[in-house]
Amino acid sequence: MAELRMREALRDAMAEEMRRDESVFVMGEDVAVFQGAFKVTEGLLDEFGERRVRDTPISENTIVGMGVGAAMNGLRPIVELMTVNFSLLALDQIVNHAAAIPYMFNGQARVPLVIRMPGGGGHQLGPTHSHSFEALFLQVPGLLVACPSTPADGKALLKAAIRDPNPVVFIEHESLYGTRGEVPEGDGEPLRFGEAAVRREGEDVTIVGVLKMAQVAEKAAEQLASEHGVGAEVIDPRTLRPLDLDTILASVRKTNRAVIVEEGWPHGGVGANLATLITEQAFDYLDAPVQRVTGADVHMPYSKRLEQAAIPHEEHVVSAALATLKGAR
């Protein structure tokens, strides 16, 4: 095992896959000479050259569309969008094309494309650089959606995404890039999509945390144990499409309570979707309404004070978990 930062783990995943497969290449705004806005592509230009690590103009829809076309014609492009907010400029190519083409052409064309994009708040980047659009992409049939929270998962999921024959929206969290974690050394194995990780076992309440919120959920679980004597089971779904609903349902059937934590907006969010699924499929096991912890229903404010108030923290998760236990103890 080696201790790596998330950004290094992601870079290693790309470098290893590029060494392994000539058809893999990277393109995006400032990914080459500048080494990436968040330095995730650092060193790739030096090793692989301009043919395989390509700086693009600021043309999001066309960059993604070129990725679609290149993927249809035998390559495995990795397109980096500088933030998830910029992906909205490319939504036509992501939804109407990348996701639809395999189906509307009846499998004659495949789109093995990875679209990487960092999102999330915490750096005072304000209302156009800080959002969480997991729920937006989750809705689209034809896409796969990954949202890793640890360097090891980041590396293994990105490798899986690159090898997958389907288009993948790969969501990274800006404030996780610097976090360290143990990563298997050498060419690690890809992780299968649709396998959740149980980060912590517990009997009293299930907490599902998405992306950075998986870490927040773990901290909340520690607090629940030490201060309230509550055993929380923490699940990181790691991919939202496909979703490992079986693991989540098994946990809920055991604990009879569920809290879902995400950084995105509440309306039509990941939590809203998951709460419905749990209610539909494990209603008889529930002892309390499913609780959601989400980001505030606003555009991410710049002020540090307001921004932190708009993002979920351990306290919010603890309080939601305790709400599911009200009257039970």
Partner 1 sequence: MADLPDAATCYELLARMALIRRFEEEAGRQYQRAKAGGFLHLAIGEEATIVGTTSVMREEDLLIGTYRTHGHAIARGTEPKRVMAELFGKVDGTSGGRGGSMHIFDAEKRFMGGYGIVGGNLPIAAGLALASQYKGEDAVTVCMFGDGASNTGNFGETMNLAALWKLPIFFLVENNLYGMGTSVERHSAQTDLSKKAEGYGISGTRVDGMDVIAVREGVEEGLQLAREEQRPTVLEAFTYRYRGHSAADPEVYREREEVEEWQHKDPIETFARRCVEAGVLGEREVQQVRDAADETVKAAVEFAEASPEPELATMYEGLYARTEADGWYAVDERSPEPHRGEREDEIPQAAHELAEAGAAYAEEPAGERPNPATHGDAQEGTEPRVSSEDGT
Annotated catalytic residues are 60, 129
Residue range at the interface with partner 1 (CB under 8 A); choices 5-13, 49-57, 215-223, 294-302: 49-57
Residue 105 binding partner 1, by CB under 8 A: yes
Least Å from the CB of residue 24 to partner 1: 11
Residue 149 binding partner 1, by CB under 8 A: no
Nearer to partner 1, 127 or 242 (CB): 242
Nearer to partner 1, 70 or 197 (CB): 70
Total residues found in the chain within this entry: 329
Residue 51 binding partner 1, by CB under 8 A: yes
Residue 65 binding partner 1, by CB under 8 A: yes
Task: For the segment 150-209, give every residue that binds partner 1 (CB under 8 A).
Answer: 164-166, 192-194
CA–CA dist 258, 265 (Å, integer): 19
Strand partners, 17: none
Residue 18 binding partner 1, by CB under 8 A: no
Least Å from the CB of residue 153 to partner 1: 17
DSSP 187-242: SPPPPPTT--EEEE--SSEEEEE-THHHHHHHHHHHHHHHHH---EEEEE-SEEET
Rounded-to-5 percentages of helix, strand, coil across the chain:
45, 20, 40
Least Å from the CB of residue 126 to partner 1: 24
Q: What is the CA radius of gyration of the chain?
A: 20
CA–CA dist 147, 153 (Å, integer): 9
Cis geometry, peptide bond prior to residue 190 (ω within 30 degrees of 0): no
Residue range at the interface with partner 1 (CB under 8 A); choices 97-105, 148-156, 211-219, 249-257: 97-105
Least Å from the CB of residue 69 to partner 1: 2
Q: What is the largest CA-CA distance in the chain?
A: 63
Q: Which of 69, 119, 120, 301 binds partner 1 (CB under 8 A)?
A: 69
Nearer to partner 1, 14 or 234 (CB): 14
**x/- map, 278-297, partner 1, by CB under 8 A:** --xx----------------
Residue 83 three-state SS: coil
DSSP 16-43: HHHHH-TTEEEEETTSSTT--TTSTTTT
Residue 70 binding partner 1, by CB under 8 A: yes
Residue 64 binding partner 1, by CB under 8 A: yes
Strand partners, 28: 55, 80
Q: Which two tokens stand for residue 222?
A: 């520690």
E-state strands within the chain: 2-5, 24-28, 53-55, 76-80, 114-119, 144-146, 168-173, 180-183, 197-200, 205-209, 232-236, 239-241, 258-261, 291-293
Least Å from the CB of residue 80 to partner 1: 15
Least Å from the CB of residue 42 to partner 1: 23
Task: For the segment 227-286, give every residue that binds partner 1 (CB under 8 A).
Answer: 241-242, 245, 273, 277, 280-281
**Chain residues in the site for partner 1 (CB under 8 A):** 25, 51, 54, 56-57, 59, 61-75, 77, 92-93, 96-97, 101-110, 112, 141-142, 144, 164-166, 192-194, 241-242, 245, 273, 277, 280-281
